[in-house]
Amino acid sequence: MSKAPVLGYRQLFSEPGIFRYALASAFGKLQAGMFSLGILYVVADQRGYSTGAFVVAVSALGGLSTPLRGRLLDRYAYGVVLWSTLLIHTVFLAGLLINEYVHGPFWATVASALLGNLAAPPIGVVTRVMWRTVTTEGSRPAALAFDAVLADVGFILGPTLAALASVTLAPWAGLTAAVAFTVVATLLLPRQIGDDMPSATGVSRHWAGPLTSLRLVLLLGAALCFATAVSVLEIALATPGDDSGSALFGGLQLSVLSIGSIVGGLLIGAATPGLAAWLTQLPRLLLGLALFATALVIAADAGWFVTVPLCLMTGLAFGPSFVAIYGRSGDLAPPGTAAETQAWVGTALQLGSAAGAGAGGALLGGWGPVGALALAPVAALLGSASAYAGDRVRTRVSAALAENA
């Protein structure tokens, strides 16, 4: 009698060293959730929260250098890049703390925060490449799903831990803890990531890197639209519909969205590889997101017993969409550009979040929460169309190659 296959998380955690790699990813996700709030508390202690928020906004521009750091990972040993950037990152953040302690000039604080984030170790990029290195085809969907769940948990627990450390210990404790988590994550990462990649063989590279792939560019467009839809949903649902509305109810809806995202990611990880592949078809996921977002627009004035279940169903598409985007981008990465590809995906998601926040805020002023919410299904539909176009390009290219063979 044949032995039943080991599926999902059982297969993933039966592979050697996977607990260590999971911890590395978890510490990296916690650091990402703590960094901004850590800076906010440090600066706010001396200069006020509005000034601290400005410094955080400027430091966020450092994320634009992620593709460059990804390219460095593709060209040089991962350990060299990670430890070098970690050293520079730590020096600038230490300069920020010292400048705040001695009440130094404001420009030095702003510059330190920006340069510190520009040189931040790309832990998230490395972990996404890592999962493709340390897993098999059967366990990879569970690994990517688990990574998406850790990201959701990190952005829930990370700010809480930063606030707790800063309030109970000292204003600088949250930022210090974020740096400590980065060090721990770097220590736990495997040392052989990327050694067997085409980049190690000296493959020639185009100056545009992975952006030479039309399929990948279309996928990046879908990722940007997805992040725009998510950002708009968060802003619109968190805003009371009128003066009598409750901010607490908005917080409840956002919490339900996060719960749905976590549950969706867990379900993908627990599925068989075949079912997980079917469930993580990005055009289908974004189309479903558009449908549920449309239902939220229609039911915006209904009671909580309608909107809360709809928020849960909408959130269920978040986690699987992240799995689909990261998994697909890894499949489409041109030779020798695995890290830079993942970096571009992260940048596309950040740009989409910024676009959603800006457009959502503008629509809130003119049309209210319902008007802002209406942008979410439009963005999701555009993302679905872009992902579908990318799949069609892939189908045609694959068919042409097969015909030539």
User: Is the pLDDT at 5 greater than 50, yes or no?
Assistant: no
pLDDT-derived band of residue 357, with 50, 70 and 90 as boundaries? Answer: confident
Per-residue confidence (pLDDT) for residue 371, from 0 to 100 = 81
> Which CATH number fits the domain that encloses residue 116?
1.20.1250.20
Q: In percent, how much of the chain has pLDDT > 70?
A: 89
Judge whether 246 lies within some domain.
Answer: yes
Decide if 3 is inside a domain: no
**Region for 226 from its dihedrals, namely left if φ exceeds 0, alpha if ψ lies in -120 to 50, beta otherwise:** alpha
**Assigned domain for 228 exists:** yes
For residue 202, being part of any structural domain is answered with no
- 100-104, 142-146, 163-167: which is most confident: 100-104
The answer on pLDDT for 173 being more than 70 is yes
On whether residue 1 sits in a domain, the answer given is no
Specify the pLDDT at position 302. Answer: 74
For residues 23 and 103, membership in a common domain is answered with yes
pTM: 0.84
The answer on 167 and 20 residing in a single domain is yes
* Domain end position, chosen among 167, 196, 225: 196
Range of the domain at 267: 209-404
Q: Which of 196, 222, 248 is a domain's end point? A: 196
Say whether both 261 and 387 belong to one domain: yes
The answer to whether residue 17 scores a pLDDT higher than 50 is yes
Residue at which a domain ends, from 140, 175, 196: 196
- Let me know if residue 42 belongs to a domain: yes
Could you tell me which residue, 272 or 183, shows the higher pLDDT? 183
Mean residue pLDDT across the chain? 84
In a domain, 59, yes or no: yes
Shared domain check, 394 and 326: yes
Predicted pLDDT of residue 300: 73
Split at pLDDT 50, 70, 90, the class of 3 is very low
Q: Are residues 171 and 242 in the same domain?
A: no
Q: What number is the average pLDDT over the span 391-405? A: 51
**Same domain? 177 vs 252:** no
Q: Tell me, what's the pLDDT at 230?
A: 92
Residues 250, 399, single domain; the answer is: yes
303 and 389 belong to one structural domain: yes
27 within some domain: yes
| Residues 95 and 153 occupy one common structural domain | yes
**In a shared domain, residues 320 and 235:** yes
| pLDDT surpassing 90 at residue 83 | yes
Asked if residue 74 and residue 22 are part of one domain, the reply reads yes
Give the pLDDT of residue 394.
Answer: 53
47, pLDDT greater than 80: yes
Of 22-31, 35-44, 196-205, 299-308, the poorest mean pLDDT is in 196-205
Same domain, 184 and 232: no
Ramachandran area for residue 209 (φ above 0: left; ψ -120 to 50: alpha; else beta)? left
Residue 270 scores a pLDDT above 60: yes
Enter the tokens of residue 156: 């829930």
| pLDDT recorded at residue 364 | 78
* pLDDT surpasses 70 at 206: no
Model confidence band, residue 403 (pLDDT cutoffs 50, 70, 90): very low
**Domains: count for the chain:** 2
The region of weakest confidence among 39-43, 275-279, 301-305 is 301-305
